[in-house]
Amino acid sequence: MKKFENFKSNLRVLEKAKEEDLSNDFIKSGIIDKFYIQFELSWKTMKDFLKYEGVSEAKTGSPRDIIKAAYRFYGFVDEEKWLGMLTDRNDTAHIYDGEAADRLVDKILNTYIGCFKEMEAFLDERYD
């Protein structure tokens, strides 16, 4: 699936974020932007695989519904973390101060990248 390949490619770039100068506001902004894209690719990839499996909720366009369906159907989804990602994705347009950006970058580096990697490993194994 093309979305899954894009998901993997974008994740390889996002994984390099820890190697960057995290004191640089432009770098932090880029990490947040890459996270936004990665999250979009993630829930849309979940949707495609759920459709493939015949899960009825996959017909909706709602990221929240897709995450909840994936939580019920797949083992890799930590519902609380993924719904937190959804909230953070929605809030990215409203980050105006450095402290909020720092908190989000910390979550991306220390929690969310791990969730994306778990998703990749699970889907690779299941749909090899």
CATH number of 2-15+22-126: 1.20.120.330
Question: What is the band of 2 on the pLDDT scale with cuts at 50, 70, 90?
Answer: very high
Q: What is the pLDDT of residues 3-18, one digit of tens each?
A: 999 999 999 999 999 9
Question: What is the band of 96 on the pLDDT scale with cuts at 50, 70, 90?
Answer: confident
Question: What is the band of 21 on the pLDDT scale with cuts at 50, 70, 90?
Answer: very high
pTM of the model: 0.93
- Taking each helix axis as running N to C, give the angle between helix 2-15 and helix 25-53, from 0 to 180 degrees, rounded to the nearest 10: 150
> Do the beta carbons of residue 105 and residue 28 sit within 8 Å?
yes
CA 120 to centroid of chain Cα atoms? 11
Q: What is the pLDDT of residues 106-124, one digit of tens each?
A: 999 999 999 999 999 999 9
> What pLDDT is attached to residue 37?
97
- As a whole number, the mean pLDDT across the chain is 94
Neighbours of 103 (CB within 10 A): 13
> What pLDDT is attached to residue 58?
92
* Mean pLDDT in residue range 28-44: 97
Q: Smallest Cα–Cα separation from 42: which of 74, 10, 88?
A: 10
Domain ranges of the chain: 2-15+22-126
> Do the beta carbons of residue 20 and residue 77 sit within 8 Å?
no
